[in-house]
Amino acid sequence: WITSALLPTLSPGGRTIGSGTPMHKADPFMTLVAAFGSHRIPLSNTSFPDRFTPEFIARKKAQYEKLGQMSDWRREMELVITSSEDRVFESEKIKFISIDDLPDDLVFFMTVDGAFSEKETADVSAITVLGVDSFQNWYAIPYGLKAAPNKVGDKVLELAAKYNVDNVGIEKGSFKLAIGPHLEETMPAYQVWFTIHDLNTSGSKLSRIKALSGVINTGRLTIVDTGDDAEELTDQIELTTHEGVMSTHDDFIDSLCQAMQLDTTWYPQRTYNREDYKRRKNTKNTYD
Residues 130-147 have pLDDT tens digits of 999 999 999 999 999 988
| Band of pLDDT at residue 72, cut at 50, 70 and 90 | confident
| Band of pLDDT at residue 286, cut at 50, 70 and 90 | very low
Asked whether the beta carbons of 192 and 168 are under 8 A apart, the reply is no
Nearest Cα residue to 241 out of 25, 6, 8: 25
Q: Which residues contact 166 (CB under 8 A, 6 or more apart)?
A: 193, 194, 195, 272, 276, 277
Name the least confident of 53-62, 63-72, 102-111, 212-221. Answer: 63-72
Q: Which residues contact 192 (CB under 8 A, 6 or more apart)?
A: 157, 160, 161, 165
Name the least confident of 29-33, 59-63, 194-198. Answer: 29-33
User: 54-67 vs 70-77: helix axis angle to the nearest 10?
Assistant: 150
Against a cut of 0.85, is the pTM above it?
A: no
Q: Which residues contact 110 (CB under 8 A, 6 or more apart)?
A: 127, 128, 129, 130, 156, 159, 160, 163, 165, 167, 168, 169, 194
Q: Is the pLDDT of residue 83 over 90?
A: no
Percent of the chain beyond pLDDT 90?
40
Taking only the tens place, the pLDDT of each residue in 241-272 is 888 887 778 999 999 999 999 988 887 765 55
| Residue-range domains of the chain with CATH | 2-77 (no CATH), 91-280 (3.30.420.240)
The C-alpha torsion from 146 through 147 and 152 to 154, rounded to 10°, is -130
Q: Is the pLDDT of residue 285 over 90?
A: no
| Band of pLDDT at residue 87, cut at 50, 70 and 90 | confident
Run of H or E residues at 205: helix 205-210
Give all strands (DSSP E) within the chain, no chain letters. Answer: 95-97, 107-113, 125-132, 138-145, 167-171, 195-199, 221-224
